[in-house]
Amino acid sequence: MSEPIPEAVLLGSSLTARIREDYFDGLDVRNLAIGGGSPLTGLRFLLLDSQRLPRTILVESNLLSKEADERLIESFSRARTNPLFRPVRMAVAAYENWQHAQRKRNASNAAANRLLAAPAVEYNNQIYLARAAKAFDQDVTAALESNIDELALLVSAARSGGARVLLFELPYADLLEHGQLVRETRQFASDRFGNSQDWLHLTLAKSELRWPDGMHMDERSAVMVARAIEQALNGLSNASEVGLNK
pLDDT digits (tens, 9 = 90+) for 92-104: 543 333 334 445 5
Mean pLDDT of 110-122: 92
Averaged pLDDT score across all residues of the chain = 86
- Contact between residue 43 and residue 243 where contact means Cβ atoms under 8 Å apart: no
User: Best-predicted range by mean pLDDT among 32-36, 138-142, 228-232?
Assistant: 228-232
pLDDT of residue 100: 41
pLDDT of residue 166: 98
State percent of the chain over pLDDT 90.
68
Quote the pTM value.
Answer: 0.87
pLDDT of residue 191: 95
- Contact between residue 6 and residue 85 where contact means Cβ atoms under 8 Å apart: no
d(CA 226, CA 59): 14
**Is residue 245's pLDDT more than 70?**
no
CA of residue 236 relative to chain centroid, distance: 18
pLDDT digits (tens, 9 = 90+) for 177-220: 989 999 999 999 999 999 999 999 999 999 999 999 999 999 99
Q: Helix, strand or coil for residue 7?
A: coil
pLDDT digits (tens, 9 = 90+) for 8-44: 999 999 999 999 998 998 899 999 998 888 999 999 9
d(CA 182, CA 127): 19
**Is residue 161's pLDDT more than 70?**
yes
pLDDT of residue 227: 96
DSSP letter string over 82-102? -TTSHHHHHHH---TTTTSPP
Domains and CATH numbers, the chain: 8-245 (3.40.50)
**Is residue 167's pLDDT more than 80?**
yes
pLDDT of residue 7: 93
